Amino acid sequence: MLKRALLALLSLLLLTLAVVAGTLLSPLQRFRGFPDPPPVAVPTDSVAPARELRRVLSVLAHDSMMGRETGSPGARRAARFLMAELERRGARPAFPGGFVQEVPLVAVRNTRGRRRLYLPHEVGPQDSARVEGRVVGWNLAGLVPGSHPDLAREVVVVSAHYDHVGVGDVVQGDSIYNGADDDGSGVLAALEVARAMAAAPPPRSVLVLLTTAEEFGIRGARWYVDHPAVPLARTVADLNLEMVGRPDPKVGGPGWSWLTGWDESAIRETVRGAGVPVGPDPRPWRRYHHRSDHVAFVRAGVMAHTLSSYGDHSDLHRPSDEVEAVDFRHLATVIQSVVGLTRELASTTLPESPAPGRSPSG
How confident is the prediction for the chain on average, in pLDDT? 87
* Residue 45, number of CB atoms within 10 A of its CB: 18
Q: Which of 213, 229, 361 is CA-nearest to residue 295?
A: 361
* Domain boundaries 44-104+139-345, CATH class: alpha beta
Q: Where do the H-state alpha helices sit in 26-103?
A: 50-60, 73-88
Q: Which of 159, 179, 176 is CA-nearest to residue 168?
A: 176
Mean pLDDT of 107-130: 89
**In which band, very low, low, confident or very high, does the pLDDT at 279 lie, cut at 50, 70 and 90?**
very high
- Reading phi first (left if > 0) and then psi (alpha if -120 to 50, else beta), residue 52 is in alpha
pLDDT tens digits, residue range 322-331?
Answer: 999 999 999 9
pLDDT tens digits, residue range 65-114?
Answer: 999 999 999 999 999 999 999 999 999 999 999 999 999 999 999 888 88
Partners of residue 144 on adjacent β-strands:
206
Of 191-200, 234-243, 285-294, the one with minimum mean pLDDT is 285-294
Structural domain spans, the chain: 44-104+139-345
Of 38-47, 162-171, 257-266, 330-339, the one with minimum mean pLDDT is 38-47
Query: Measured on CA atoms in the order 286, 319, 181, 36, is the torsion positive or negative?
Result: negative
Decide if 193 contacts 156 (C-beta within 8 A).
no
